Structure 1
Amino acid sequence: MTAAMVEPGRESGGRTWEYLLQSWRELDVPEGWRAEIDRGQIHLVPPPHRHHNGIAARVQRALYGVLPPHWEIYQTLGIHIAALDKLYMPDLVVVSSEVVEEVEAEVSDPVDAAEALLVVEITSKGNAEDDRKKKLWAHARAPVPVYLLIDRFDAHGPTATLFTEPQNGAYRHADRVAFGDELVLPKPFGLKLDTRHFPH
């Protein structure tokens, strides 16, 4: 759920993205909340449910078993979809540690979403449609090669869907399983993700 929005004022002088990014850098966001930029606004997103965090922890643990040492998993990393001037903070992002470490220590700029190897979004009741549609499309445009959508609120029951092969702003391939089944992440991950113990 979007809790608050900050819109650019007239002082932005037509440089909406630069103004929003500077405002995003300077925000004092309450602990556990996230700030994202979408549709020319800064949105504050409240902390998720504990089941949401439980799923993120299980996925992160599974990924650590297959990642090479120079890849890392980040939970509060902003990613910039440059083609759309959007900034999201996914639940999990896998990216080379070099990409994150090359930024100056004093700067909290997002990384280019095209540098992400995997993005994971876990739906909350208030933002499920955003994760299913808006963020799916944005990550395909970036392009992020692998987008994992874990949907606790799917109308047909909790599901996990793996989107791969982004092309022309859309993912060409999708594998969807119900909670309880295995979902196979492609190379370079080569991971069989067991969803049996995902809380919902």
Structure 2
Amino acid sequence: MSALPVDPAPGPHWDELVRFWEESDWPEGSKVEIIDGIIVVTPPPGAPHNRIVEKVHRRLYTVVPEDWCVYETQGVAHPARGRLYVPDLVVIPERVMAELEGGESAPLTAAELVVEVTSPSNASYDRLNKAAAYAEAKVPLYLLIDRFGPGGPTVTLYGEPSDVYQELQKVRFGEEIHLPAPFDLTIDTSVFPFG
């Protein structure tokens, strides 16, 4: 993981940072995000990570409203806080995506659900930085699939954002977790690989 610090305030610094993020030749398959004004490069996720993402993605498409979409590689930006994330999954209304041009990022505030699956190199970002940012942007639901939780693999659903999220439900791998309306979806985490 590498980082390039910059001033996270919106304006010319943000524009320069995003331009650098867009135009640089990052290692193929890596995830490149701007977290609190710092460019963070993480290696491509491994097979267990991708298998979990695929299983959740498939389940979400059975319940999302017709005018919403589920994306795996969509950047979501919160320029006022120096943030540009590429969540493992993000649910965004199609009308928002239709207004974007080229490689433009969607506004983080438009997300209805964000799903992150931890990797060894990014677990603390997913647990702390991203949870705080998603709550601040008022993303209604944040599903954290923490393969490397301190007490073992867990899945936590956060919601009711204000300054922070409320923990709505937390289960160990192997148990079921339920996403409330508008999803009304139960996910059986026993299908998640432990490795």
* Same topology, TM > 0.5: yes
Q: State the 1:95 CA deviation.
A: 0.6
The one-character-per-residue Cα deviations of 1:60-87 (angstroms, maximum 9, x if unpaired) are: 0111111122111111111112441211
* Number of residue-to-residue matches in the alignment: 191
CA distance in 1, matches of 2:36, 2:108: 17
Q: Which amino acid aligns with 2:169?
A: D
Cα offset, 1:55, TM superposition = 0.2
Is residue 56 of structure 2 the alignment partner of residue 45 of structure 1? no
State the Cα deviation string for residues 10-49 of structure 1 (Å, max 9, x = none).
xxxx821111011112123333112111232222221011
Match of residue 190 from structure 2: 196
Alignment of structure 1 residues 50-61 onto 2, 5 Å: 50-61=47-58
Counterpart amino acid of 2:45?
Answer: P
Q: Distance in 2 between matches of 1:130 and 1:41?
A: 12
Check conservation: 1:151, 1:158, Cα contact below 8 A: yes
Question: C-alpha separation between the residues in 1 aligned to 2:126 and 2:5?
Answer: 22
Structure 1 residues 196 and 99, CA, compared in 2 at 3 Å: closer, same or farther? Answer: same
Give the whole-Å Cα distance in 2 for the aligned partners of 1:36 and 1:84. 13
Q: Name stretches of at least 5 consecutive residues in structure 2 with no aligned partner.
A: none
Q: Normalising by structure 2, what TM-score? A: 0.92
Identity %: 45
In structure 1, the partner of 2:14 is 17
* Aligned counterparts of 1:41 and 1:158: Cα–Cα separation in 2: 28
Give structure 1 regions of 4+ aligned residues with deviation exceeding 6 angstroms: none
Q: Structure 1: where are the runs of 5+ without partners?
A: none
CA RMSD in angstroms comes to: 1.6
Q: Choose which of 170, 177, 180 in structure 1 pairs with 2:171.
A: 177
CA distance in 2, matches of 1:82, 1:162: 25
Residue identity matched to 1:66: V
Is this contact kept in 2: 1:123–1:150, CA < 8 A? Answer: yes
CA contact (8 A) 1:83 1:142 kept: no
Partner secondary structure for residue 28 of structure 1: coil
